[in-house]
């Protein structure tokens, strides 16, 4: 209704946690073609297709923030380094904390984001040091190198597509051509 009237809709208090059925179908149809992950505005992994599961392996163990990118960056550093290497982990960590700052700006009253921030602030010296840099930003494309346990190092061009209505981020991992 707001858009029809030429007015911006009211800001959401939290990102949507439900993935549209059409996006779910797209994930399934591209299972064997292209790794795809879907994240919400809190930086939680909502879904991934079979190709992404094969690339990244099993999901992290349970816990409130088990699917949160920022939490993984500062609590699962060794595992990330095995998959992304040192440079890839540093890049992801920098992007994730900048995205967390943006998410806190979009959803300042979100209890989940506030408690995530508090936990990282109180438990991680690395997070506190990195947070002090004040980085804010949004990555829309990137190059990523991923170590697969049986296939070795794989290179991808990453494209991020945003669905502003639900505040979902669709990450497409396009394999780079080898020369």
Residue 10 lies in a domain: no
Does some domain include residue 25?
yes
The pLDDT of residue 9 is: 54
The answer to whether residue 155 sits within a structural domain is: yes
In a domain, 4, yes or no: no
Q: How far apart are CA 41 and CA 160, in angstroms?
A: 13
Kindly state whether residue 15 falls inside one of the protein's structural domains: no
Would you state the pLDDT for residue 179? 57
In a domain, 106, yes or no: yes
Q: 74: domain CATH number?
A: 3.30.450.180
pLDDT computed for residue 12 by the predictor:
59
Q: How much is the pLDDT for 60?
A: 75
In a domain, 137, yes or no: yes
Q: In this structure, is residue 12 part of a structural domain?
A: no
Task: In whole angstroms, give the CA distance from residue 163 to residue 44.
Answer: 15
Alpha-carbon torsion angle 150, 143, 137, 96, nearest 10? 10
pLDDT confidence of residue 171: 94
Q: Which domain holds residue 46?
A: 21-175
pLDDT tens across the length of the chain (179 residues): 555 667 655 565 778 889 999 999 999 999 988 999 999 999 999 999 999 999 988 887 778 999 999 999 998 888 888 889 999 888 888 889 999 999 999 999 999 999 999 999 999 998 999 899 888 777 788 899 999 889 999 999 999 999 988 999 999 999 997 65
pLDDT for res 81: 87
How many structural domains compose the chain?
1
Q: What is the pTM of this model?
A: 0.86
**3-state secondary structure labels for all residues of 138-169:** CCCEEEEEEEECCCEEEEEEEEEEEECCCCEE
Q: In what order do the strands lie in the sheet with 36-40?
A: 45-48, 36-40, 168-175, 152-163, 141-148
């Amino acid at each position: 209704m707001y858009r029809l009237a030429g007015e911006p809709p009211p800001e959401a208090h939290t990102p949507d946690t439900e993935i549209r059925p059409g996006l779910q179908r797209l994930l399934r149809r591209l299972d064997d073609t292209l790794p795809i992950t879907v994240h919400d505005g809190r930086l939680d992994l909502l879904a991934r297709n079979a190709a992404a599961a094969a690339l990244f392996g099993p999901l992290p163990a349970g816990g409130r923030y088990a699917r949160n990118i920022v939490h993984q960056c500062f609590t699962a550093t060794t595992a990330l380094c095995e998959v992304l290497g040192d440079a890839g982990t540093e890049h992801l960590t920098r992007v994730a904390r900048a995205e967390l700052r943006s998410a806190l700006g979009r959803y300042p009253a979100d209890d989940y984001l506030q408690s995530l921030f508090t936990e990282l602030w109180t438990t991680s010296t690395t997070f506190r040091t990195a947070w002090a840099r004040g980085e804010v930003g949004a990555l829309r494309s990137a190059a990523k190198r991923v170590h697969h346990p049986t296939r070795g190092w794989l290179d991808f061009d990453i494209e991020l597509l945003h669905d502003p209505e639900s505040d979902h981020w669709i990450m497409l991992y396009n394999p780079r051509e080898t020369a």
